[in-house]
Every structure is written in structure tokens, then in C-alpha cells.
Amino acid sequence: MAISIFATNRKQAWRNKHESDAVWKSMEDSIQRRNEKIDTGPALVLGETEISSIVAAGGGRYVGVLKEIPYKMESVVLFSSPRTRTTLGLPISRLTAEAVREHLAESDAAFAGAGAK
């Protein structure tokens, strides 16, 4: 009995192409376009002392700032959770004490949920 290898490979090639197209489309949607400008408003106004104070007011421990990559990524403020010692980050344009509190609560809840399993 002869089995056509060509027919099997052609079907496999179509499936791989279809799946790779889906992955490419997904990646393409997540890539930020170069000509889009990123709003880094607070980065121009806030110094390290002010950023650290905002993080502390939200209940976090200030770690540092991941510098922006022009036209690709805005600066990210890094801070850790006192409970889990996990390092978290927020884009500097979203940095408020309330945002830090919310991010810490979500992270701590996720760790508590994972530990309960």
C-alpha cells in the first residue's frame, strides 16, 4: 500500500502557514507604531524624590525607574510589594498613589490565590 507523502506534507504546510499567520497578526497588533508619540508628561516634572514619595504613599517600596525608549516605551516606575517582595511597575504617565495601591492589591491577591492552591 502506497501513501502519498506529498499530500500529507501539503496539508501540514497549510496548517503551519495558517497558524503562523495568526501568530503574526497577533504580534502585529501588539507592536506600537514608530510614529505614535508616547505621553511621558510626569517624567518631565517629577524627580526621583517625588516619585519615591508617591510610591510610598501608595504603600510600595520604591526601586527605581526603567528609562524610556523614545517612540517605543515610556518610563516605568519600579516598586516592590512589602508583603510579597515582588517587583512591580507602572508607566510613569499612570503613576499615582491610588494606582500604586491598586497594583499592589491585585498582585498581593494573585499571590494569595496562588498560595491557597
- 35-84 pLDDT, tens digit per residue, is 444 454 444 578 999 999 999 999 999 999 999 999 899 999 999 999 99
Helix (H) or strand (E) holding 77: strand 76-80
104 band by pLDDT with thresholds 50, 70 and 90: very high
CA–CA separation, 102 and 117 (whole Å) = 23
CA distances (Å), origin 110, targets 6, 13, 89, 117: 49, 40, 15, 11
pTM here is 0.60
Residue 109: how many CB atoms within 10 A of its CB? 10
User: Per residue in 45-61, is it b (16+ CB within 10 Å) or e — as a string?
Assistant: ebeeeebbebbeebbbe
